[in-house]
Amino acid sequence: MEGTEVRKLAALEDSHWWYRERRHLLRRAVRGLAPGRALDIGAAGGGNTRVLRDLGWQASPLEYGSDGAQVAKERGLPVLRADASRLPLEDASLDLVVAFDVLEHLADDDRCVREVHRVLRPGGTFLVAVPCDPRLWSAHDEAVDHLRRYTRTTLVDLLERGGLEIERLSSWNVLLRPVVALRRRSSSGSDLEQLHPLVNVGLQAVVTAERYLPVKGLPGVSLLVTARRPG
């Protein structure tokens, strides 16, 4: 992702409804796991890293680009600068790896998944979030350097090829999918922008309501997966 987009993300992530709900989803996903060593791949502003550290994890952000690494450093996080396809970590050294909205940026997503498998201890957890449904492809995807949008089948196949077992797969941003689809038909760039406070609150209310509705098997805007290294 270009430096300007990373800076925009960092400026928005503490208040923007999308990033706030994503942090809630992370908290929910790690509930019940004993804190250990964790890596947040593609951490950008470090919002997810800070969630993990607040929950007792020894979490470090990993960033490929200089802008993302600098933002994390400015926020006091012990950032690692490296390629997600060549993780600078020992085999079986991590209990948790998080890659939220990362895999779609990588030319070789298979290699990244194999690397995650390598650094996870047996029984370790890989949390993944990706944009889904190629029919939603738009100028937003191009502006934030997406290479693809996944389907349930392509994402499951990717993770299983890398030696991981799928524990849970669900859709997210289901209720707002029609709005997103309509907006992106006429979009000319990234959706990363400051919203009017009332709009932000309204959208937050919609995704909060989604937590309690039986819609996670329906088409959404993103896919969330909990996978494990067997053993």
Residues 6+ apart with CB under 8 A from 107: 147
Question: Span 174-193, mean pLDDT?
Answer: 81
Measured CA to CA, the distance from residue 81 to residue 36 in angstroms comes to 21
Domain 3-228 is in which class? alpha beta
What is the tens place of the pLDDT at every residue in 39-78? 999 987 789 999 999 999 999 999 988 877 888 788 888 8
- Listed by start position, the domains of the chain span 3-228
Structure tokens of 167? 């524990």
Q: Which two tokens stand for residue 29?
A: 């996903």
**Cα gap 1→196, rounded to integer Å:** 25
pTM recorded for the entire structure: 0.92
Q: Determine the pLDDT at residue 114.
A: 98
What's the pLDDT tens digit per position in 166-179?
Answer: 999 999 999 999 99
Q: Is 204 exposed, middle or buried (0-12, 13-18, 19+ CB in 10 A)?
A: middle
